[in-house]
Amino acid sequence: MNTANDEKTLYRKLLVNGELDKGKKFKVKNEEIVDASDIFIDHVNRKSNSIYLTVKKHVLKDQFKKQVRNPIYNRMIKQVVKEQQHPIFVFTMFKTKNHYYAYLALNAGIDDTGTIYRYSKKDKKMSGIGQTSNDEHVVAIREITR
């Protein structure tokens, strides 16, 4: 699990215009980080030769091993199950003061890029806001103005 204490962890700054700042790392203080990478089970539909996901029984915990009960995280997980057709390699959810985000990296065998999503409370769905390059696993975002 990539946590706030992991030296390989990448923290990105999100500008208010939605762009990602690829600048320096920053330290995570009290932000909640939830790694849900291991809750997905991938299956093969033999008729259509496609992959679909289900979720195993789980308890979400933050980086301090404290149980997290948040319906928004559950909605984000349901959207991933509904829309993804590849095994999940990394799925980390986190929140800032104002928004919820997720980092998703597929185990598609093509590359190691990932996508950062912002959850809209209004639309009740996640939308992609940026891509990461190989081996960058994002687990926290700090929203800044510039």
pLDDT digits (tens, 9 = 90+) for 39-71: 999 999 999 999 999 999 999 998 889 999 999
The residues spanned by each domain of the chain are 10-26+33-144
* Total-model pTM: 0.78
Question: In degrees, to the nearest 5, what angle opens at C-alpha 3 toward C-alphas 60 and 26?
Answer: 130
The single-letter DSSP state of residue 19 is P
User: Cβ(83)–Cβ(102) under 8 Å?
Assistant: no
- What is the C-alpha to C-alpha distance for residues 21 and 46, in angstroms, rounded to an integer? 42
